[in-house]
Chain A
Amino acid sequence: MEIIKNVYELRENFPALNQKVNGKELVYFDNGATAQKPACVSDLVMRMNEGLNGNIHRAVHELSARSTELYEGARDRVRLFINAKFREEIIFTSGTTAALNLVASSFGGKYLNKGDSVLITQAEHHSNIVPWQMVCERTGARLKVLPVDDDGRWDMGSLAGLLTKDVKIVSVSHISNVLGLVNPVEEVISAAHIRGIPVLLDGAQGVVHSRVDVQKLDCDFYLFSGHKLYGPTGTGVLYGKKEILESIPPWMGGGDMVNTVTFAKTTYAEIPLKFEAGTPNFIGAAGLGEAVRFLEGISGDFLQEHEKQLTDKMIQGLTSINGLRIYGRGEGKIPLFSFSVDGVHPTDLAMLLDKMGIALRSGMMCAEPLMRRYGQTGMLRASLAMYNTAEEVDYFLKSLKRAVNMLT
């Protein structure tokens, strides 16, 4: 396979990028919410729906066998992609949210008791807050929160004080969906592990913008969604260390997750099937495998350099606008920028930019506590993907200045 080494070649694989919105060429800068899909992913999904639709793991017939192969093949691809040690450490879910709920419910249900704590940070997405709150309500445990500073950095000085023996799990984002900074997760993982506390990383943004090696990170759980990683919607991955996944109970019951079933007692299947009750989104998971295969065909050096270029250009342009404040500044910045402009409501800006063909996110971005931390009721977010270009950044910056002028 030819290795993709430049952005124009890369863009040709994404039909959605080539369209007009409101009469203007689309500039898609809402990749943090969901990414566009390469044609090979949509093709595979279509081919499976049209000719390879047989339920996996359940039958001896040819269609079932071939679907199963694609599904289990995707598991192998994902394992290699994040360098998990065993293939059964890869659980397919419907997304990061489902994966988080699985861990909160199963791990939390087993290990959390009254007086225990879950440590998160102030910069978490609602899906890394609410599932824990729900299990806390059930068990009598509570949430502890590591603060972030004005630049969006974790307050590492208060980590040791928070990591007391009541903490049963640390659940934090690899990269925040608002701040766009690669967090010092290695440091947190080693500090937690010294005290025997497992660490979950919400990798919804992290897996897209960094090369993840779960063995090197030594995290206990790593979670991500397929649709932000150029795969189909409704897919996701829960990576968990084998011994932990084996020690916690299943979350949902149903077909394919059992060993034997009698009315008196049911024994469960081994991992990963223990956590994949019912017919999974096997076509979606195969599509995610295809997205990963596509990503393996892009030069890593190109990706790194290109993202850095886009990031630098965005920082330079945004900081030149009067009254604009970027949330999340410093080392390890990915091309994801949440910002506000003095005296201008983010919704107004987003509406005007939409008319100029630019897709951005505005609002609270599922991180209300973080909005409150910065005294904002909403922000604007431009999140770029590998297929965005320097020309698009120029057009975005020009349009943003024009919109700000209209509104002030």
Chain B
Amino acid sequence: MTVKEVEKQIVEEFSIFEEWLDKYEYLIELGKSLPLIEETGKRDENLIKGCQSRVWLDAEYREGKIFFTADSDAIITKGIISLLLRVFSGRTPEEIADADLNFIKEIGLQDNLSPTRANGLLAMIRQIKFYAMAFSSKQI
């Protein structure tokens, strides 16, 4: 599946929720059920510090693709992370650089990516894009 296709799939999953409450309950479920990162990946250099919650992001480059694992101490943040990883992980640096993340807006979670919320998600996306840049220059 392409990035666009995965994004479309997520939007469809969320379209069944009419109430914000159901959406957040789903995010909480996602957050709870997904073991996202190995304990060894929770190193300080992988920590993205927001004032509100902490996010860890680990990246591994294999056969032209970047594989991400991530975690957060806040469960809703973790739920959103699991969506982002579905889109980003196992992609080539070019695919990552091109992803516009419009689906976040479409499912009504853009507030959570606003710099004012200080939950580390925006910084995490920046870091993901940075990895893509770093690994693509390595290729050359």
Contact = CB atoms under 8 A, between A and B. Distances in A.
Contacts of B73: 345, 377
- Interface of A, secondary structure class, is helix
B46 to A, nearest CB: 17
A362 interface: yes
A328 to B, nearest CB: 21
Contacts, number: 41
A84 to B, nearest CB: 36
A266 interface: no
Interface string A289-306: 000000000000000000
Interface string A336-375: 0000000001111011100100000011100000000000
A406 interface: yes
B54 to A, nearest CB: 7
Interface string A367-408: 000000000011000000000000000000000000000110
Interface string B99-140: 000000000000010000011000000000000000000000
A22 interface: yes
A406 B77 contact: no
29 contacts: A345-B53, A345-B74, A345-B75, A346-B52, A347-B52, A347-B76, A347-B119, A348-B28, A348-B76, A350-B52, A351-B24, A351-B76, A351-B112, A352-B24, A352-B76, A355-B20, A355-B21, A355-B24, A363-B52, A363-B118, A364-B51, A377-B54, A377-B73, A378-B52, A378-B53, A406-B21, A406-B25, A407-B28, A407-B75
Interface of A: 22, 345-348, 350-352, 355, 362-364, 377-378, 406-407
Given A345-B74, A363-B51, 14 more contacts: A22-B20, A345-B75, A347-B52, A347-B74, A347-B77, A347-B119, A348-B75, A351-B112, A352-B76, A363-B52, A406-B24, A406-B25, A407-B28, A407-B75
